[in-house]
Structure 1
Amino acid sequence: MSKEQLESEVLDTKSPGSHEYDLKHRNSIVLVPQPSDDPNDPLNWPQHKKYTILAILSVTAFSGLASSLANQLGLEAQAELYGKSLTELSYTVSAAVAGIAAGPLFIVPLAHVFGRASVIFWTLLGCIACGVWSAEMTGPDQYIGFVLSRLFGGVFGSVPSILGAQMLMDLFFLHERGRVFTTFHMCFLMGTVAGPTFGGFVVQHVAWQFEFWWTVALQGAVALMVLIFLPEIGFTRDAGKVYPKQPEGFLANRVATFLPGTKVAHRDGLREAPRSAVAQFLIGFSPTGLLVGIYAFGFFGWFVSVNTLLTVFLQEPEIAGGYGFEPQQNAAFSFALWIGVICAQVWGSIFNDRIPMKLAKKAGGLWKPEYRLHSLWIPSTFFMPIGLGIFGAALEYHLHYMVLALGSFLITFAAFCSIPVGINYLIECYMDHPTEVACIMGTYRLTLGLIVPFFKDQWIDSVGVGWVFGMMAFFSLFAFSLVVVLMFYGHSLRQIRFGILSKDEEGMKVTDQDQQSFS
Structure 2
Amino acid sequence: MNEPPGTVTIEDVGPSQSATVVVLEPTPTDDPNDPLNWPKSRKTVNFVIASFYTLASFVLLDIGTVIWVDQNAELGISWANLNNSFAANLAGLAVGCILLVPFAIKYGRRSVYILSTAVQFATAIWNASLNSTGELLAVNVLSGLAGAVSEALVQMTIVDIFFVHQRASANGMYNLMVNTGAYLAPVAAGYCATAQGWRWIWWWTAIMLGLNLILFIFFFEESKYIPVLLSRPDEDVQTRTAAAAAAMETTKFPKQTSIEEGSLPTSVAPSASYTTKSYRERMAFITKTDNSLLEHIKRPLVVLIGFPAVTFTALVWGCFLSWFSILATTQSTYLAYPPYAYNASQIGLFSLPPFIGGVFGAALGGPVNDWYILWRAKRNNGIFEPETRLHLGIPAILATPLGILLFGLGLAWGWPWWSLALGSGIFGCAFTSIGACSLAYLSDCYQDIVGDALVGVAFVRNGLSTVFVFALTPWIEATGLVNMFIAVACIATGTLLSLIPMIMYGKRMRVWTATRYRAMAQLQPGARRI
Same fold (TM over 0.5): yes
Name the CA shift for 1:96/1:246 in 2 (closer, same or farther; >3 Å): farther
Structure 2 CA distance for aligned equivalents of residues 101 and 78 of structure 1: 26
In structure 2, the residue corresponding to 1:29 is in which secondary structure? strand
Structure 2 CA distance for aligned equivalents of residues 113 and 299 of structure 1: 30
**Aligned match for 2:298, one of 278, 302, 305:** 278
Alignment of 1:81-96 (within 5 A): 81-96=74-89
RMSD of aligned Cα (Å): 2.8
Alignment of 1:64-463 (within 5 A): 64-138=57-131, 142-237=132-227, 239=248, 248-251=277-280, 253-254=282-283, 257-258=284-285, 261=286, 265-268=287-290, 271-286=291-306, 287-315=308-336, 317-318=337-338, 323-378=340-395, 380-463=396-479
Structure 1 CA distance for aligned equivalents of residues 104 and 141 of structure 2: 21
Structure 1 CA distance for aligned equivalents of residues 350 and 379 of structure 2: 44
Structure 1 CA distance for aligned equivalents of residues 178 and 384 of structure 2: 28
Cα offsets for 1:41-93 (capped at 9, x unmatched): 22122223212221111001211121122321111121224423334312222
Cα offsets for 1:133-188 (capped at 9, x unmatched): 222212xxx21122111111111123244212112212111111111111122213
Residue 31 of structure 1 pairs with residue 24 of structure 2: yes
In structure 1, the residue corresponding to 2:486 is in which secondary structure? helix
Amino acid at match of 2:372: I
Structure 2 CA distance for aligned equivalents of residues 107 and 15 of structure 1: 43
Structure 2 CA distance for aligned equivalents of residues 42 and 395 of structure 1: 48
Structure 2 CA distance for aligned equivalents of residues 204 and 14 of structure 1: 58
Report if the CA contact (8 A) 1:423-1:437 is conserved: no
Name the CA shift for 1:15/1:396 in 2 (closer, same or farther; >3 Å): closer
Q: Which residue of 1 aligns with 2:37?
A: 44
Instruction: Tell me whether 116-125 or 155-164 shows the greater mean CA deviation.
Output: 155-164
Report if the CA contact (8 A) 1:204-1:327 is conserved: yes
Q: Which residue of 2 aligns with 1:509?
A: none
Report if the CA contact (8 A) 2:123-2:139 is conserved: yes
Q: Report the alpha carbon displacement of residue 462 of structure 1 after superposing the two structures with TM.
A: 4.0
Report if the CA contact (8 A) 1:360-1:371 is conserved: no
Structure 1 CA distance for aligned equivalents of residues 398 and 12 of structure 2: 44
Report if the CA contact (8 A) 2:313-2:438 is conserved: yes
Q: Report the alpha carbon displacement of residue 363 of structure 1 after superposing the two structures with TM.
A: 2.1
Report if the CA contact (8 A) 1:394-1:400 is conserved: yes
Name the CA shift for 1:219/1:27 in 2 (closer, same or farther; >3 Å): farther
Q: Which residue of 2 aligns with 1:510?
A: none
Q: Report the alpha carbon displacement of residue 15 of structure 1 after superposing the two structures with TM.
A: 7.9
Amino acid at match of 1:352: N
Structure 2 CA distance for aligned equivalents of residues 407 and 132 of structure 1: 35
Report if the CA contact (8 A) 1:182-1:345 is conserved: yes
Q: Report the alpha carbon displacement of residue 124 of structure 1 after superposing the two structures with TM.
A: 0.6
Name the CA shift for 1:146/1:498 in 2 (closer, same or farther; >3 Å): farther
Name the CA shift for 1:267/1:176 in 2 (closer, same or farther; >3 Å): same
Report if the CA contact (8 A) 1:121-1:226 is conserved: yes
Q: Report the alpha carbon displacement of residue 481 of structure 1 after superposing the two structures with TM.
A: 1.7
Structure 2 CA distance for aligned equivalents of residues 392 and 246 of structure 1: 59
In structure 2, the residue corresponding to 1:219 is in which secondary structure? helix
Structure 2 CA distance for aligned equivalents of residues 168 and 485 of structure 1: 27
Residues matched between the structures, number: 466
Cα offsets for 1:116-137 (capped at 9, x unmatched): 1111011111111111222221
In structure 1, the residue corresponding to 2:152 is in which secondary structure? helix
Report if the CA contact (8 A) 1:355-1:374 is conserved: no
In structure 2, the residue corresponding to 1:158 is in which secondary structure? helix
Q: Report the alpha carbon displacement of residue 323 of structure 1 after superposing the two structures with TM.
A: 2.1
Name the CA shift for 1:498/1:279 in 2 (closer, same or farther; >3 Å): farther
In structure 2, the residue corresponding to 1:393 is in which secondary structure? helix
Report if the CA contact (8 A) 1:87-1:312 is conserved: no
Instruction: Tell me whether 191-200 or 146-155 shows the greater mean CA deviation.
Output: 191-200
Structure 1 CA distance for aligned equivalents of residues 505 and 399 of structure 2: 25
Gapped regions of structure 2 (runs ≥ 5): 1-10, 228-246, 252-273, 522-530
Report if the CA contact (8 A) 2:109-2:224 is conserved: no
In structure 2, the residue corresponding to 1:303 is in which secondary structure? helix
In structure 2, the residue corresponding to 1:352 is in which secondary structure? helix
Q: Report the alpha carbon displacement of residue 299 of structure 1 after superposing the two structures with TM.
A: 3.5
Name the CA shift for 1:479/1:431 in 2 (closer, same or farther; >3 Å): same
Structure 1 CA distance for aligned equivalents of residues 470 and 349 of structure 2: 26
TM-score, scaled relative to structure 1? 0.83
Q: Which residue of 1 aligns with 2:488?
A: 472
In structure 2, the residue corresponding to 1:40 is in which secondary structure? coil
Structure 2 CA distance for aligned equivalents of residues 273 and 504 of structure 1: 14
Q: Report the alpha carbon displacement of residue 229 of structure 1 after superposing the two structures with TM.
A: 0.9
Higher relative contact order (CA 8 A, sep 6+): 2
